[in-house]
Structure 1
């Protein structure tokens, strides 16, 4: 079965993905940034396919370029001056490198959120937070669902308008503008009506009461307990190593920090194991499956 990690308990999955996101934000060490981007990319492609990954990466590349260029333009710290801009401000190598690292970190975060969408659906999210924070959980669940639902509705409206000869790409410029306004108006009306129906439905079902059940009941198994222990241990050890300064790398006023010491390599190895844990599970299952086939 592809993506066996998705059948694990929602708390195990949520702990893993939040840990990956948190560590992606904790350090600007270039090695950590590259590892987060590379492993996140592999897992995103495995979960959602290359097309979805490329569509996410397109926006990420634009963001990366903007940050990489903007930082040296507005931040003039650093001792290695590359050249001066038209306003006689120095463009330094350190500021440019920091911009690259910042841009890479932001792209990695987008990719890991893409993995989050592939692992955590609304049902799992509501299971985790519906009892603790029912109102906030419902709002966040609706927000996360809003983007794909809206895209689908726009496609439905456009197709229906085309069948009537009123497509947004047909006619003069004035007609196109009027038809875009019509599509937007239909979409807003549809969304508002759906929101009202959802609110009334949830109220009628007693949503927000202290005692409520979940649509799906997730039970802890041996594999969940083992994985939760391993992930928690890796999170603690990686957190201690990062907060203890083993990932520290300074860009200003000049580059300083050991990227490839023995302790650094040990920290990188544990970080790789944490991020690649679901892929390692998939590899283990594949090996076990092939061995069983070979024996039979």
Structure 2
């Protein structure tokens, strides 16, 4: 019996990359799956195609699973409501949403257009709102619901050329946290994942030298889309009912739990701060704990599990 036996799962961006593997693995674990994918290009400026989602749904059915496809955009709230209705009409309900749908419009911020900003925010941030808002009342009423949203180290740590993407991904982390807090009393869970995997997004990063090409080859072989997909499926299963409000990472066979912002230094002056004392006292006291502009510290060494 699979981890999602008897459950119905909506997977957005399910036609390619991590989303595709999420849909396939969810089906292997017994879920009935609504595979959603607009079928557009990486930058979100191409005409959509229903074939991407339908090919994955056909693959699931050919393996003996149950799946239907949907090619609407997560940026359209009414369309997302239609996905929920489709799940209920076809399979009698909906219990989880895995939401990796996304696009990239990478450019330095001083060259970023309004369209570059709006398209990325629309798909990632608005899309996450849409799938959550269209399902939250159902999940609360049935006292059963789980979300896996997708954040990114581009937001958690920062990444040059991705101000739009990073801003949206940090917004998603905040959204997920609050949904988890508000949903706790109704058994509605929400987590988010910052994945690293070989997908068309990572393939879009330019190769500048032989070292970069070598790293890319290692990624293709060792850091696959099925690895974060497997973690996503595990986290929306009933067996993970105690896990909510967390930010995880998955890269290859390494799973990471990320810290969340908490105060690290506090300074108080009972008589009140002035501009001069802020500069001469408060800032120097906090400065040793400032974060630098390096992208990220080295990841913690993976812990070996006991045999």
Give the structure-2-normalised TM-score: 0.25
Q: Which has the higher helix share?
A: 1
Q: Greater relative contact order: 1 or 2 (C-alpha under 8 angstroms, separation 6 or more)? A: 1
Q: Flag the structure with higher strand content.
A: 2
Q: What TM-score results when the alignment is normalised by the length of structure 1?
A: 0.26
Look at both structures and tell me which one has the larger radius of gyration over its CA atoms: 1
